[in-house]
Amino acid sequence: MQSPALLPRSGAFGWLDQLIGPGATPAEITLQLLPPIAAMIAAPAYALTLPMEWSGWQLGVISVLGFDLVGGVLTNATSAAKRWYHRPGQGWRQHLAFVMLHFVHIAVVALFL
């Protein structure tokens, strides 16, 4: 049986716990939200400075990818995420599935950008 600290909360916070890991400290949560929000704003803002035309869809994709990539890197560096993603029952299949899911980024870039 898992330690109660490793169990996600119920409701919306449980969804957040499943992404960032249960038991994340306020500092970890801040680290996982503020820089990604900044990237979500900065990435399309930078794209608009380039000498090319961007559609609203493309700017939206750039924004989402900015948030997801920066947030993912920072989240994977936290203790809460390490405990969550390396808990008992998480074997090579789960880790490979996590990696394979990120091939979606490549497909999104190829399709929209």
pLDDT digits (tens, 9 = 90+) for 52-109: 999 999 999 999 999 999 999 999 999 999 999 999 999 999 999 999 998 998 999 9
Q: Which long-range contacts (CB under 8 A, 24 or more apart) does 70-76 make?
A: 70/35, 70/36, 70/38, 70/39, 71/32, 71/33, 71/35, 71/36, 71/39, 74/31, 74/32, 74/35, 74/36, 75/19, 75/20, 75/21, 75/32
pTM check: above 0.75: yes
Predicted pLDDT at 6? 79
Predicted pLDDT at 3? 61
**How many structural domains is the chain composed of?**
1
Cα torsion at 76, 77, 83, 84 (round to 10°)?
Answer: -20
User: Can you give the residue range of the structural domain that contains 34?
Assistant: 4-112
